[in-house]
Amino acid sequence: MIPILYQDPRFVVLNKPAGLAVHPGPRGGPSVEDVFPQLSRRKDGPWLAHRLDADTAGCLVIALRKAALIAAQQAFAGGHAHKVYWAVVRGAPTADSGTVMNRLLRRSEKSGWRMVVDPAGQPAETQWQALGRGAGIAWIEFRPLTGRTHQIRVHAAGLGCPIVGDPVYGQPPAMGERLHLLARAIRLDLDPPVEAEAPPPEHMLAALRRCGFS
């Protein structure tokens, strides 16, 4: 069973492990949806209220009822969902904080698809703050104000410090190295609010400690 960070009659917030897809892909395989029967025996639901990349760990909101799903979708669309991510990046930004604003477009290539900065894309905005620095790496908190695919990964790379373990927007990972990206916290401004915080996954701890995390 995936650890539960928050639960009420409307929602469950799971601590999704890195490497687990949120729903089965074309080739099948394990996914978060495999545990849905354990979360609710209702015929209608549960549903994913949003999505995380398979390689991203942390807070994932699951709606247990259709009315809750609609309320969550409205919160995300209306800017009433507040998300915090932690990442360990290669190098370090030149400033201690800032905001990245651009437009992101999905582009298909022979090697696969990726998100690129393009005037024809959708607006993407992320606030960020450096929480600590270590030898050759930095610990950064990202607060996305929009919800574009791979937004934080692209914006980190745009700062000149791609996320550790990112093979798409950074350098090829070392053997066994995983993406150092955590959906640290989430809050939905509902009545009552939904709020949860995820601990750093095991594969990020050593790097975070090198940057001052304790």
Could you give the residue numbers annotated as active site? 53
Q: Quickly count: other Cβ atoms within 10 Å of residue 27's Cβ.
A: 5
CA dihedral 122, 49, 140, 208 (to 10 degrees): -150
Pick from 149, 134, 159: nearest CA to 213: 134
Q: What is the DSSP letter of 170?
A: S
97 strand-pairing partners: 129
Main-chain dihedrals φ then ψ at residue 39, nearest 5 degrees: -85, -30
Which pairs with CB-CB distance under 8 Å and at least 24 residues apart come from 170-175? Answer: 170/90, 171/90
How far apart CA 159 and CA 53 sit, in angstroms, is: 21
Q: Give the tokens for residue 101.
A: 């604003």
Report H helices in 41-143: 66-77
Q: What is the DSSP letter of 194?
A: E
Query: Which amino acid is residue 199, in one-letter code?
Result: P
Q: Give the tokens for residue 144.
A: 């996305």
